[in-house]
Amino acid sequence: MADQPHRASANSYQRLLAIGFVIAVVSAVFFIIFVVREVDALATLLAVPAGAIRAIQIREGALIAIGFAALYAVFAFTVYSFRDAIAQVQEERRSARFRAKVVDVIVHEITTPITALRWQIDFLQEKMKAGETDTPEVRQMIADAYGALERLNGLARKLIDIAHLEQEELLPRKGEDILPVILSVAEPYRAAAEAKKISFSLELPQSLPRALVNHEFFSRALSELLENAVKFTDRGGIAVNAEETPEFVVITVADSGIGISHPERLFRPLQQIGREVREQRGVGAGLYLAKLAIEKQQGSILFRPNPGGGSAFSVMIPRETLSEPPRLPGA
């Protein structure tokens, strides 16, 4: 979908060049015919030998063809020059729109908890002046303030990590026993699931092959998927399973949550903007961070709707034993 404007633009330039080529060829043919006729007429008038006439016609025809070829070359160069200039302007406009979206997201996501924090601090100051420092209301307010700070910290950390990952070609990796890593990342989310009265199951094999991972960012990506699953599942449950293929270890996080109404928005950077989509899943910075983190380890994340409702995300990470980079689906 995102490549369609680029393909349409390329096709337009190709059509323009083809039209220019046809015009150049047709014009050259007509000019050569015109010159041949004029040379014949002049030769007849001056009684020039036939051999000399033919030599003149060939020379003039060649010069005309070379001239039109040069004109077409200039035309093609001009078209390509304009194409590059227009593409650069379009890219700058896209970058400007993206920066505007980033600013909009940051402003909203930061100002909302800051406003809440200011109100909560004002409230606590009033309570302190009244000598009410240890009441259920004050304790709840402190908890809410801490939650607002955690949201700010989480957003800042995501933006910093995204900026870091976008600058990296590949993350440093090493072979690791992946099963304990999956368990250590997934198990803490059991309590969050139980607090929402939804099931949480780890359907893992007894063993898995070692995988080639960056421990920090593999854990971070899996954590983002689990956090999304818990956040957007209100009934049913979450299941984490793993399997192996000849090239990959595949970890799947499946849930029975609200699903994803706009799959085309998946994994795009900072798409959770706009009031109409702010409460939808799969359009925020978390999934984009997870995608970047796994791709920088020569892996991939695949999405599919869960047959029972909800969503399923599969992380494909290369096995350690491979002697060359694995072939990703669709590559």
Q: Enter the pTM of the model.
A: 0.61
Residue-wise pLDDT tens digits, 47-93: 556 555 556 556 665 666 666 666 666 666 666 666 666 677 777 77
The 10 Å Cβ neighbour count of residue 64 is 19
Residue 141: per-residue pLDDT:
79
Give the distance from CA 239 to its chain's centroid: 26
- Separation between Cα atoms, residue 173 and residue 219, nearest integer Å: 13
What pLDDT band is residue 279 in, cutting at 50, 70 and 90? very low
Residue 325 dihedral angles phi and psi, to the nearest 5°:
-55, 140
φ, ψ at 250 (rounded to 5°): -115, 120
Q: Which residues contact 247 (CB under 8 A, 6 or more apart)?
A: 318, 319, 322, 326, 327
Q: What is the pLDDT of residues 225-240, one digit of tens each?
A: 999 899 889 899 999 9
Residue range 38-48: average pLDDT? 57
Q: Which of 31, 52, 32 is nearest to 42 (CA)?
A: 52
User: What CATH code would you report for 174-318?
Assistant: 3.30.565.10
**What are the pLDDT digits (tens) for 106-116?**
666 677 777 77
Q: How far is C-alpha 196 from the chain's CA centre?
A: 32
Residue-level pLDDT at 161 = 86
Q: Is the pLDDT of residue 273 over 50?
A: no
CA-CA distance, 270 to 283, in Å (whole number)?
A: 7
Please state the domain extents for the chain.
Answer: 1-167, 174-318
Who wins on pLDDT, 218 or 140?
A: 218
For residue range 307-319, list pLDDT tens digits in order: 778 889 999 999 9
What pLDDT is stored for residue 56 in this prediction? 58
Helix (H/G/I), strand (E/B), else coil: 202: strand
